[in-house]
Amino acid sequence: MKVIGNQALLEQIGEAVKNRRMFHACIISGPRGIGKKTLAKHIATAAVCTEVQPPCGRCSGCLKSEKDIHPDIDHVKPDGTEIKVNQIRSLRASLYTLPNEAPCRVAVIENADCMNVNAQNAMLTILEEPPSSVIILLICENESELLPTIRSRCVHYRMQPLPEEIIKDELLRRKSGISADEAVNAAKKSDGILGRALEIIEAAAGDGYDCQIIEALCERSVERLITLAATLEKEANRDNLCDMIRSVQKTMGNAAAFQAGKSDNWSADERRLASVYDKKAIIRMYQLCTALIGYCEANVGVGHIVGAFASMLSEEVNR
Ligand SMILES: [Zn+2]
């Protein structure tokens, strides 16, 4: 996924990457939904790219990073509500080994402001004597939660809100079926935060859980699938759950037909799904829907069905 706006920041990063003069550690901060993870992925991809103009988007390093399966990129996320010292210790062990295939190792710490004190101190020991070819990206909303000694050892990228015009264009590009007025209104209410504008559009589309599930799959976001499952478990009953799964299944079927080269007026979602997953994955997800529709008809509990749906789709995302 592409970083939107933030041109000055991207140029600065581009220069550093091009000359292979990367920092050891960097804090990426900004409000929720502003694109911090997207920027982190951009930097990580550039760092593991093996071509002369990183990120080239085509080499095996870039492609693996895009799918979150690069062996030299470690991801750390909160275990429950915090990031614990053991997680940082095992990261440390990994960072002190040589990269498998990339020019360097990268660590992406999501919600770095959730590191507890012990974890932060462990992080500090890594930053004090960083292994030579290692890049650590600390993503956080609130950098003041990080120890001053950590902050002083990091380059700091603060992501800026986007102009309304850019948000409007991006909404129209990503969301088929919305009007220019809807895009303008959502952009106005979003405070320049693309993620927020997308939420406004999705909320206005009614429940639209089917679309949101497809979106989460296209973004390969397990986090979003789990959040959706939690909401569905509270709000769905067996009938509307069954309708929702049928609708998701229909999108899968159409994506498979599009992949097979059949021509029709395919929607943006169907095309996108077809580009993110291969034929086998789409067929597996289609069959999963068939099984779950059977469960709905056999009166299996909503919680069980939603749980199975979320966990099996998450497996496809991570595959
Ligand atoms: Zn590349």
Q: What is the mean pLDDT of residues 234-251?
A: 84
| Residue bearing the bigger pLDDT, 232 or 310 | 310
Q: Does the residue 1 lie in any domain? A: no
Q: 56: CA distance to ligand 1 center in Å?
A: 4
Q: Are residues 231 and 90 in the same domain?
A: no
Q: Give the pLDDT of residue 308.
A: 92
Q: 96: CA distance to ligand 1 center in Å?
A: 24
Q: 27: CA distance to ligand 1 center in Å?
A: 23
Q: 48: CA distance to ligand 1 center in Å?
A: 7
Domain boundary among 172, 206, 240: 206
Q: 287: CA distance to ligand 1 center in Å?
A: 34
Give how far Cα 205 sits from Cα of 111, 180, 251, 302, Å.
29, 15, 17, 23
Q: Are residues 288 and 233 in the same domain?
A: yes
Q: Are residues 176 and 302 in the same domain?
A: no
Q: Give the pLDDT of residue 114.
A: 95
Q: 154: CA distance to ligand 1 center in Å?
A: 25
Residue located via tokens 């690069």: 70
Q: 303: CA distance to ligand 1 center in Å?
A: 42
Q: What is the mean pLDDT of residues 239-263?
A: 89
Q: 219: CA distance to ligand 1 center in Å?
A: 20
Backbone torsions φ then ψ of 158, nearest 5 degrees: -100, 120
CB of 44 closer than 8 Å to CB of 73: yes
Q: 18: CA distance to ligand 1 center in Å?
A: 12
Q: Give the pLDDT of residue 83.
A: 96
Q: Are residues 13 and 135 in the same domain?
A: yes
Per-residue pLDDT band for 152 (boundaries 50, 70, 90) equals very high
Q: 70: CA distance to ligand 1 center in Å?
A: 12
Give the residue ranges of DSSP H helices in the chain. 7-18, 36-48, 60-66, 85-95, 117-128, 148-151, 164-174, 180-189, 194-204, 209-218, 222-235, 238-259, 268-276, 279-297, 302-318
Q: What residue numbers bound the domain in which 271 lies? A: 207-318
**In this model, does residue 3 exceed pLDDT 70?**
yes
- Greatest mean pLDDT range, 98-107, 170-179, 221-230: 98-107
What whole-number distance in Å separates Cα of residue 172 and Cα of residue 184?
9
Q: 141: CA distance to ligand 1 center in Å?
A: 29
Q: What is the mean pLDDT of residues 28-35?
A: 92
Q: 67: CA distance to ligand 1 center in Å?
A: 13
Weakest-pLDDT range from 26-30, 40-44, 55-59, 201-205: 201-205
pTM reported for the whole predicted model: 0.65
Q: Does the residue 219 lie in any domain? A: yes
Q: Are residues 25 and 143 in the same domain?
A: yes
Q: 61: CA distance to ligand 1 center in Å?
A: 6
Per-residue pLDDT band for 25 (boundaries 50, 70, 90) equals very high
Reference 306, options 206, 213, 223, 205; nearest CA is: 213
Domain of residue 280, CATH code: 1.20.272
Q: Does the residue 265 lie in any domain? A: yes
Q: 136: CA distance to ligand 1 center in Å?
A: 19
Q: Provide the CB-side half-sphere exposure for 307 (13 A, CA).
A: 5
Give how far Cα 100 sits from Cα of 68, 173, 213, Å.
15, 37, 34
Q: 276: CA distance to ligand 1 center in Å?
A: 18
Per-residue pLDDT band for 131 (boundaries 50, 70, 90) equals confident
Q: 68: CA distance to ligand 1 center in Å?
A: 14
Q: Give the pLDDT of residue 102.
A: 93
Q: Are residues 228 and 314 in the same domain?
A: yes
Q: What is the mean pLDDT of residues 249-269?
A: 89
Give how far Cα 92 sits from Cα of 20, 85, 195, Å.
23, 10, 32
Q: Does the residue 2 lie in any domain? A: no
**DSSP letter (8 states) at residue 143:** G
The number of domains in the chain is 3
Q: What is the mean pLDDT of residues 217-233?
A: 88
Q: Give the pLDDT of residue 121.
A: 97
Q: Give the pLDDT of residue 26.
A: 93
Q: Give the pLDDT of residue 20.
A: 67
Q: What is the mean pLDDT of residues 258-264?
A: 87
Domain boundary among 120, 137, 158: 158
| Residue bearing the bigger pLDDT, 185 or 205 | 185
Name the average pLDDT for the chain: 90
Domain boundary among 206, 235, 264: 206
Q: Does the residue 227 lie in any domain? A: yes
What whole-number distance in Å separates Cα of residue 226 and Cα of residue 308?
11
Q: Are residues 235 and 135 in the same domain?
A: no
* Percent above pLDDT 90 for the chain: 62
Per-residue pLDDT band for 167 (boundaries 50, 70, 90) equals very high
Q: Give the pLDDT of residue 127.
A: 95
**In this model, does residue 280 exceed pLDDT 90?**
yes
Q: Does the residue 103 lie in any domain? A: yes
**In this model, does residue 77 exceed pLDDT 60?**
yes
Q: Give the pLDDT of residue 5.
A: 83
Q: Are residues 212 and 195 in the same domain?
A: no
Q: Give the pLDDT of residue 1.
A: 67
Q: Are residues 137 and 246 in the same domain?
A: no
